[in-house]
Amino acid sequence: MLAEDRQPAPAEVDLGGLIDLERYPLDRLDSPEGQALLARCRASLAGDGCAVLPSFVRPEALRAMGEETHRLAPGAHINDTQTNPYSSDGDPELPEDHPRNVFMDRSNGFVGGDLIGQETAIRQLYHHPAFQRFVQRAMGVEELHEYADPLGGLVINVLKPGCQHPWHYDTNEFVVSMMTRAPEEGGLFQYAPNIRSTESENYESVGRVLHGDEAPVKTLQLKPGDLQIFFGRYSLHRVSRVGGEKDRHTVIFGFAREPGMIARAARTKRIFGRLHPIHEAETADGPARSDSLAD
């Protein structure tokens, strides 16, 4: 990528102004309290691929973040379409009820990172070295890098009343996110932990979930300020339909194990309704996948 295409990171801010450091000692991860926090996160991720840290940010920081996402939400590109869990075409050679042929309403929106200013609290948290070190160590990975993608690195997901994000998998192995605005009704995060693996798509179990089997499904009623680390590459998941009159806003912090990650142009155009020159400059069709699973 071209260096001039990236926005400079904002000046490092006081971590204590963003995070409840008494509850979440990101500034002393090698202390007994910090080690206990990391152990809890790793245990949750090993168990079902999901770790939630309630009230991760301080109330005043959360108010600022909520105001920021509320102000920026009108700039979201709303993607109102039909999709299957793999964001792919159907397969006429397969039965109609096969997971690849089950299409659902997708009606959510995304604000691209190039619209999120350097002065915002959400960007200050995203770039903070202590936050990034914590995420890296909580996941137990050797390296963690910001997305090089100027649109997909830092994103605001917007679900308006009546909208949903149906059952799907993530392209990236993991997602780090935080709700900043809760809806009046619905908007529940639901997932079927590790329902597929690199060895198997497990279409039979996936099909049962798509057709209403809730036995393997876990439901989280996330609250604004809750940080979530989620391995969404292997766990089928969705956000249920939003009710009432308020939007549901979630900030997605884009990280990857490898440097220089840029989303595929086709996927970027679908999510954001546009491309950045960095996508048009890609000679290959985006980053290589570490597995052979369907997107």
187/6: higher pLDDT = 187
Structure token pair of residue 130: 């202590």
Q: Is the pLDDT of residue 5 over 70?
A: no
Please enumerate in sequence order all residues whose Cβ is within 8 A of that of 273, keeping only pairs 6 or more positions apart, or say none: 77, 79
Q: Is the pLDDT of residue 284 over 50?
A: no
Q: Looking at the domain assignment, is residue 95 inside a domain?
A: yes
Number of domains in the chain: 1
pLDDT of residue 273: 86
Please enumerate in sequence order all residues whose Cβ is within 8 A of that of 125, keeping only pairs 6 or more positions apart, or say none: 18, 19, 57, 61, 65, 131, 253
Inter-residue contact 210 to 261 (CB < 8 Å): no
Closest to 106 (Cα-Cα) out of 151, 156, 168: 168
Inter-residue contact 115 to 153 (CB < 8 Å): no
Structure token pair of residue 222: 């996330």
Mean pLDDT of the chain: 91
pLDDT bin (cut points 50, 70, 90) of residue 282 is low
2/266: higher pLDDT = 266
How would you list the strands of the sheet with 236-239, edge to edge?
165-168, 236-239, 189-192, 218-220
Mean pLDDT within 107-130? 96
pLDDT of residue 290: 59
Structure token pair of residue 197: 């693996």
Q: Looking at the domain assignment, is residue 9 inside a domain?
A: no
Task: Give the whole-number percent of the chain exceeding pLDDT 70.
Answer: 92
Mean pLDDT within 122-147? 96
- Interatomic CA distance for residues 165 and 162, integer angstroms: 11
The string of pLDDT tens digits covering residues 58-93 is: 999 999 999 999 999 999 999 899 999 998 999 999
pLDDT bin (cut points 50, 70, 90) of residue 280 is confident
Q: Looking at the domain assignment, is residue 295 inside a domain?
A: no
Q: Which helix (H) or strand (E) holds 167?
A: strand 165-168
Helices 32-48, 129-139: axis angle to 10 degrees equals 50
Q: Looking at the domain assignment, is residue 263 inside a domain?
A: yes
Q: Looking at the domain assignment, is residue 268 inside a domain?
A: yes
Mean pLDDT within 109-136? 96
Residue 274: which CATH number? 2.60.120.620
Q: Looking at the domain assignment, is residue 294 inside a domain?
A: no
Structure token pair of residue 244: 């009432």
Closest to 110 (Cα-Cα) out of 165, 73, 162: 73
Q: Looking at the domain assignment, is residue 4 inside a domain?
A: no
Structure token pair of residue 45: 């991720």
Please, which residues bridge with residue 181 across strands? 249
pLDDT of residue 167: 97
The distance in angstroms from the start CA to the end CA of the chain is 24
Beta strands 236-239 and 189-192 are: antiparallel
From residue 162, alpha-carbon distances to 105, 186, 214, 230, 248 in Å are 11, 9, 22, 25, 11
pLDDT of residue 177: 98
Which structural domain range is residue 194 located in?
15-280
Sign of CA pseudo-dihedral 245, 80, 106, 226: negative
Q: Is the pLDDT of residue 225 over 50?
A: yes
294/250: higher pLDDT = 250
Q: Is the pLDDT of residue 3 over 80?
A: no
Alpha helices in the chain (DSSP H): 32-48, 59-72, 121-127, 129-139, 203-210, 265-272, 277-280
Task: Give the whole-number percent of the chain exceeding pLDDT 90.
Answer: 80
Q: Within 13 Å and on the Cβ side, how many CA atoms surround 254?
A: 22
Q: Is the pLDDT of residue 96 over 80?
A: yes
pLDDT of residue 2: 29
Q: Looking at the domain assignment, is residue 79 inside a domain?
A: yes
* pTM attached to this predicted model: 0.91
The string of pLDDT tens digits covering residues 136-180 is: 999 999 999 999 999 999 999 999 999 999 999 998 889 999 999
- Interatomic CA distance for residues 141 and 127, integer angstroms: 18
pLDDT bin (cut points 50, 70, 90) of residue 117 is very high
